[in-house]
Structure formats: structure tokens, C-alpha cells
Chain A
Amino acid sequence: MTATDSIHRTIAAVWRIESGKLIASLARMVRDVGIAEELAQDALVAAMEQWPQAGVPDNPAAWLMTAAKHRAIDKLRRDELLQRKHTELAHELETALDDSAEAVAAALDDPIGDDLLRLVFTACHPVLSSEARIALTLRMLGGLTTDEIARAFLVPEATVAQRIVRAKRTLADADVAFEVPRGAQLAVRLESVLEAIYLIFNEGYTATAGDDWMRPQMCEEALRLGRIVAGLMPQQAEVHGLVALMELQASRMHARVAPDGAPILLLEQNRARWDQLLIQRGLASLQRAQKLGGARGSYALQAAIAACHARARSADATDWPAIAALYATLAQVSPSPVVELNRAVAVGMADGPAAGLELADALLDEPVLKSYHLLATVRGDLLEKLGRRDEARAEYERAAGMTRNARERQLLLQRAERVQAAQ
């Protein structure tokens, strides 16, 4: 390890923490998120060039801010030659971009986090596709490089770079204001933020052994973003609901895959390997969401279901009637065939396989579940429990034909064989 490597890791550590605030403060000044992000990147490049020689400054955040401001002034002066009309703005900014120590400190000092919150809402604006929202959020709030984002989402780096460029252009073209939405707009816009964060989480959660380590990292990234937004908007129940859901799901992270990479179903997991610290935090976040009147929020309901599992010391101790009731509420709040399928499983556990099968059978004509192997798997399981072995075997075989996961296919074919052998 060389001294330069060490400096680069120090810069990476500082950047992870400061980039969001830096871009947010700059965006308020230059009134364009895209330009703010470029200025912050330029400051990062300057740090990479200068810190290895000059050493890490005492206050790295203020150093980056000052460097970015100088670049902002340079840029505006350049533009001024092209477009005279910017003259006034440049002058205005030069005053605003006073880089005395106090002014730099004031720019970075955003105790309520308003700038950061504005940045969250801008990066997750509904005019952007969900891919663009995710890329922009990870880039601007997570401080990740395009390469890291590309590795996490299994796409070429050029694709991510393109998405970011296009997203910035879309925001500029749509003249999206750098602000926190108010009133009725807030709920809609917040949903768009939470959705982006949860998509990031799921990308990490579905990562499998052998994947690039950036993929599972997305769970931590999403948790970090979720907790930051929760800190900035402590009165928004659904934010706590989402954080609770992610914490409770993440608590099972190390128990859900066997050493050979095979997935382990929730009821068969070794509960001693569940992360109790995350469970405690998840339960506390869920309580916060419920206290704020958010018990019927879609994320809070999913978190409450995850909490039922987290509280059970063993799979046998699971409170299935409570889970079935929560799924029934969830099916009202955000109805979907997948929720209904999960409800069938819970009801099958709570009230017996016949009741579960009735719900599952009702889903057979759902177009979205037509090629979804889990419906066939669930029906196979319920039919097997009812002793209808021929039908069970046929369902397991049908499910095996639909899954794209080789290990899962193998498991399903084994179950089919086992049912047949039992006859």
C-alpha cells in the first residue's frame, strides 16, 4: 500500500460524507443541479491532484467547497464571454460566492438539511424514469462513481453515464425548481423518492453469491439514504415505514443464502444468524411510523409483516393469523396479485391448506402471474399438504419449467420426485 493509495481512500471517505451536502449547497447557488454536480466533481478531481502532495487539509469539506466555488466563478466568467446576459448573474454570484472562511462555513452549514432535502426531491423527480432517478440519487447523494453504479446494476458504465447526462438534461428542460414540494404535491413526490430508495435496496437484496460486491452494498446504500431522509423529515410516517422494512429485511441478509449460494427460505433460516441490532432498529422505526399514524402505509404494513417473522424465536412460533390479517389490509391499501399470493400462503398457514388453496386458485387467471413460477410453487405446496399428490407433482414440474434460477429448478424437481415417491 502506498501513501497515495492511503490519501485516495481518505478522499473517498470524505467524499462519501460530503458530496451530497456539497452538491446541494452549490445547487442552491447556481440554481442547476447538473452544473452543481459537475462543479463538485471538479473539486474532487482537484483534491485528488493536490492532497497527495499538500496533505489532507484540516477541514476537508470546506476545502472542497472553496475549490468548487472558484470553479463556479471561472465557469460563469467563461460563459459571460459567450453570453453577455450572464454578466449580471456572474456579478451577483461573485458576491454570493464570497469565499471567506465564514461564507464557506455558512454555505456548508445547513442545520435543517433543507438543501439536502431539495436535492433528494430533485434527483427523484417524477419527470425522470426510475432508472434515471436511481442513477442520479446514487451519484449525487450516495457519492458513488458511474462505474460503481454500473457494477451494482449489471449494466455497462456508458449506460449509466448516459442516464445521468440525460437525467440532468431532462431536469433542466423541464425547468424543475430546486425546492421541497409542499401541500398535496409532497405526498406524490415523496412516494417517488421512497420508491427509488426501495428499488436500490432490492437491487442489493437480490444479489447472489459470486456477484460483484457492489451489489449487496446497495442494501447499505439504500438504508443510509432512507435514514437520512427520515432524519430530514421526521414527521413523515411512511419514511419510517420504509426504513423499518429495509432494516428488518436486511437483518436476514446473512441467513438467506447457503455457503454454496443456494437460497434458503425464510422458515428454514438459522435465526441465530439474524442481525438482532438491525431487528431492534427496524422495530423502533416501525413503532415510529405507527405512532405518527402511518400503520396503514404500504411500507409500514410490509414492515409489520417482516416484524412478525423477526419477533418469532422459531419458525413454529410465527404468528400466522397476524400475518394473514396484515396481508388482508395490504391487499386493500395496495392491491396486487403478488400480495394476494403472499396472503394465500399466510392464510394457508393460519387456517389450513384448503383455505390457502382457495385464494391461490383465484389467481390462476391473473395475466401477470401466468409465467410466475411462485404461484405454481405455492399451489404445489398446498396441494401436497392436502394429499393431492398428482396435482402437486404437476405444479412443481410446471414451476420448475418457469424459473430461470438453476438451483431453484433443481429444488422444485426434487420436490416433484419426492411427492411421486411417497405415493
Chain B
Amino acid sequence: MKYFSIYIPDSKTNPAKAPTGAAKERMDKFVADAIARGELLQGGGFLPVKSHGAIVRRSNGKNNVIDGPYAESKELLGGFAMLQYPSREAAIDGAKRFLEVAGDGECITYQIMEGEEC
């Protein structure tokens, strides 16, 4: 089963920044192991929305590009992953393992609907 997961670090206890040194090594190993197990299909870190991305919202037929009020951060603001697990429980276990390495924050995991193969 395929899952899509977004991780946002807790800004109070785990200020957003790209890992370095031992923390980076731990994360690299975690990622390599997850790929080896066939769990991690694709993933990456987010650059700040304000400077590098955008939120485009449509309401009453009118488009609106929003650039605030989002935390001013200079570095990574969490990330995403496309994942594959045999069960919801395995996905939860995987999120716990990830947070063990990434630190405080929130991992939202969605299961992707997979219809009949076309």
C-alpha cells in the first residue's frame, strides 16, 4: 500500500534546520535503510514557502497567491515522503522510527487510494 507523508518539525522545541554532522549521518543512514527495505520510494526536504514556494488559494472563482504569515525560516521546513508499507500499523511504526531521527514534530501520513490497475 502506498502512503504520502508530510513532516513538519515543532518550531518551539525543534527549530527547522537542515541536519549537520552526526545528525545528518543518522538521517542519511535512516534514509538508506528505508530505501533498502523498499519502504521509501521518494522524498525530500522543503525549502521555506515564503521565499521558495507559494500557497495559491481559489475562493469564489478568484485566485489568490498568499505569502504570509508563515514562519520566517532560513532553512528546511520539514519534508515529504512517498512510502510503501504492508499495513497501517507498519506505516505508524515507520513514522515513529522517522521521528526518532528527525526529532519533535508532526508526521501526517495519508494512504493513497489505489484503484483497479488500468
Contact = CB atoms under 8 A, between A and B. Distances in A.
A228 interface: yes
Contacts of B92: 10
A400 B88 CA distance: 46
Contacts of B117: 254
B37 interface: yes
A209 B117 CA distance: 13
A139 B86 CA distance: 18
B41 A10 contact: no
A223 interface: yes
A394 B41 CA distance: 48
Nearest to B85: A13
Counting contact residues on chain A (CB < 8 A from B), the size range is 10 to 19
A193 to B, nearest CB: 15
A413 interface: no
B32 interface: yes
A227 B87 contact: no
B93 interface: yes
A224 interface: yes
B59 to A, nearest CB: 36
A13 B41 contact: no
Contacts of A9: 87-90
Interface string A1-40: 0000010011011101100000000000000000000000
19 contacts: A9-B89, A9-B90, A10-B89, A10-B92, A10-B93, A12-B86, A13-B89, A13-B93, A13-B94, A16-B37, A224-B36, A224-B38, A227-B36, A227-B37, A227-B38, A228-B36, A254-B117, A277-B41, A277-B42
Given A10-B90, A223-B38, A277-B41, 16 more contacts: A9-B89, A9-B90, A12-B87, A13-B85, A13-B86, A13-B87, A13-B94, A14-B93, A220-B38, A224-B36, A224-B37, A224-B38, A227-B38, A228-B36, A230-B36, A231-B36
